[in-house]
Structures are given as C-alpha cells and as structure tokens.
C-alpha cells in the first residue's frame, strides 16, 4: 500500500495532468487551416469580443452585448459596439478613449439601433441609425457635423440596415436588410445606385441557420474595379455585381466541399483576389470564417466554438505576429 506522501504525490500528479489537459484544450479550442492568422471577433451568443493568436490561444477578452460592426484603426485602436446604441473606441491596452451614445442627438425618446459605423479620414465617425433611418457624422465631441436621410420601404428599428461604408468617392453604400436592397447615396441623401438581392426563384424560409432562406443581406463593399461585393445574409451566398447589376461571381451555400454556408455577414476581397467571408449561424460543424480563391478553392478557415459560438457576425483577420 502506498505511503501517505506517495498518495499525495499521485494525487498531485493527477491534478497537474488535468491542468495540463485543460490548458492544452484551451490552446487548441481555436482551429485554423492554411496559414495561421490572428483573429479579433465578436459573438452575440457568448457576449464576447476577443483576440485569438495564431497558435489558437486567447490573447484577451472583453465583454460585449449585441455587436454587428468592428474596426481596427490605423493608430492601433479598436472601434466596436458593446450594445445596439453604444459605440466604443479603445486603445491598444483596451482603455476607453472615446465613446458615443446613439440615444442622443434627437434620439432620446425614439427607438434606435446601430448596426454600422466607420471612422472617417477626417476624424469624424459615421454612424448609421436604424429606426431614425439616417446616417450622421459626429466629431470627437459627439456633435453632428453632417447627416443624410435613408430611403427605407419596410421600416424596422432592428432591420433597416446592417453594415454600411462611406466610399472613397464620398458616397454611402448601405445594406438595407429588411428591404433586401443595397442602396448607394450621394452626399445629400439621394439614391444614386441600388441593387435588389434576388431570391433566385426560391421561396423564403424562416430561421437563422442553413435551413433559412431570403435576401436579408448584411454587407456591401465597393471594389476597386467598381463592382460591389455583397454578403447576402440568409441568402447563404456572396455575390459580385457590376454597376450594370450583372452578377459576375457567386459563391453559393454548398459550393465548398464539407462546408455549409448559413448567414453570410461580412465579406472582403483580398489583394490576392481571394474572398474572405464570415459564416454566421452555421453551427459547430462549420467554420466561422472562410477564405476562398476565385475558383472557389478553400485556402483558409477559422473555427472556435469555445470562445465564440453560433452568432459571430464580425471578425478582423490579421497577420500572425
């Protein structure tokens, strides 16, 4: 029979082994295929904004509420939201250096949600307000310096808009989720281009996962060639559309071997011609971020259902340090 010290040694060994196993599990919770990257992402279901290093470990975490947009600024600061109405800028140490409450500037007594914002080159912050249906640009003091009304056919405080961006030409490119339309506005608020996302002959289906279907788009990005790249939301696809509204490239729900697309949120065309997309509500059997070539070959994926979950609509993919 082991002596008491021997028993203690065995017990300590078992505890230490369990600790190592738990630590190892934490390290591999985030899985990547292809060249490793750092990833900063936000998830509604886990109420978490976090950075995952290239080796899969968690660099830091911040608590958030609903989150639909996220930016890394040129000075290394991060611009994000921690609720539908509160936008925060933090420095590299995650100290708050600026914040904005959308329940101000005329919204004190009316419903408002923010699903898009952007720091502009002149230092102002563009804020897109669902409910009031307007875009405003505020200065560091939160005062409105510019604003335009939005055209909304089916008003909804929660779904008037999703992501929007001010283009290099000064126009505003807005994904109108409920309307199923991308609208481009000039500086006075006139619609100068629009594109209705097609249903492609299918019937609408409710839900958020792969079983759902519709044209509730999430994002629209103007490409250098003048085309527009669209994340079609519950359309489960990415489409590239010309100014003449011709689809010249499309990634569909089941185009990728072993991967099912669900609610396609943020999309990006990379300098090498590849397309990166965020695959939200697709379930734990699918990656949350995917990079594909123009020929629809998967070259990189990210999967983490420990730190994040099934409602991760925003992500920044950064070079490994």
- Of 155, 175, 314, 290, give the one whose Cα is nearest residue 241: 175
Which pair of tokens denotes residue 7? Answer: 């028993």
Rounded to two decimals, the pTM is: 0.91
Q: How far, in Å, CA of 301 to CA of 321, rounded?
A: 18
Tell me, yes or no, whether 22 lies in a domain: no
Q: How many domains does the chain have?
A: 1
- What integer best gives the mean pLDDT of the chain? 93
| pLDDT of amino acid 9 | 40
Domain contains 2: no
Instruction: Tell whether the model's pLDDT for residue 24 goes beyond 60.
Output: no
User: 194-230: per-residue pLDDT in tens?
Assistant: 999 999 999 999 999 999 999 999 999 999 999 999 9
The band of 23, judged by pLDDT with boundaries at 50, 70 and 90, is very low
DSSP for 19-53? HHHHHHHHHTSSEEESS-EEEEEEETTTTEEEEE-
List the CATH number of the domain containing 221: 2.130.10.10
pLDDT tops 80 at residue 8:
no
Residue 2 has pLDDT above 90, yes or no: no
Domain extent, residue 234, equals 33-319
Residue 238 belongs to a domain = yes
In whole angstroms, what is the distance from residue 210 CA to residue 112 CA? 29
pLDDT tens digits, one per residue of 243-271: 999 999 999 999 999 999 999 999 999 99
Position 279 in a domain: yes
In a domain, 20, yes or no: no
In-domain check, residue 100: yes
In a domain, 214, yes or no: yes
């Amino acid at each position: 029979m082991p002596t008491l010290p021997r028993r203690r040694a065995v017990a300590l060994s078992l505890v230490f082994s369990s600790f190592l196993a738990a630590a190892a599990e934490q390290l591999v919770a985030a899985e990547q295929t292809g060249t490793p990257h750092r990833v900063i992402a936000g998830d509604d279901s886990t109420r978490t904004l976090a950075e995952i290093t290239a080796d899969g470990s968690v660099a830091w975490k911040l608590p958030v509420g609903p989150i639909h947009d996220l930016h890394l600024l040129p000075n290394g600061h991060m611009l994000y939201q921690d609720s539908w109405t509160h936008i925060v800028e933090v420095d590299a140490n995650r100290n708050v250096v600026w914040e904005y409450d959308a329940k101000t500037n005329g919204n004190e007594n009316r419903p408002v949600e923010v699903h898009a914002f952007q720091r502009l080159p002149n230092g102002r912050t563009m804020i897109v307000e669902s409910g009031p249906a307007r875009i405003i640009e505020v200065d560091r003091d939160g005062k409105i310096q510019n604003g335009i009304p939005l055209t909304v056919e089916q008003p909804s405080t929660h779904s008037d808009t999703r992501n929007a961006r001010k283009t290099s030409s000064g126009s505003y490119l807005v994904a109108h989720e409920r309307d199923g339309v991308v609208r481009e506005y000039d500086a006075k608020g006139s619609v100068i281009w629009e594109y209705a996302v097609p249903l492609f002959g299918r019937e609408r289906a409710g839900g958020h996962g792969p079983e759902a279907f519709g044209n509730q788009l999430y994002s629209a990005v103007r490409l250098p060639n003048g085309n527009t790249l669209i994340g079609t939301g519950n359309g489960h696809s990415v489409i590239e559309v010309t100014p003449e509204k011709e689809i010249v490239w499309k990634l569909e729900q089941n185009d990728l071997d072993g991967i099912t697309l669900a609610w396609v949120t943020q999309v990006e065309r990379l300098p090498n011609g590849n397309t990166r997309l965020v695959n939200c509500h697709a379930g734990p059997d699918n990656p949350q971020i995917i990079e594909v070539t123009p020929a629809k070959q998967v070259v990189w994926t990210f999967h983490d259902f420990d730190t994040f979950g099934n409602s991760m609509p925003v992500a920044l993919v950064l070079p490994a340090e």
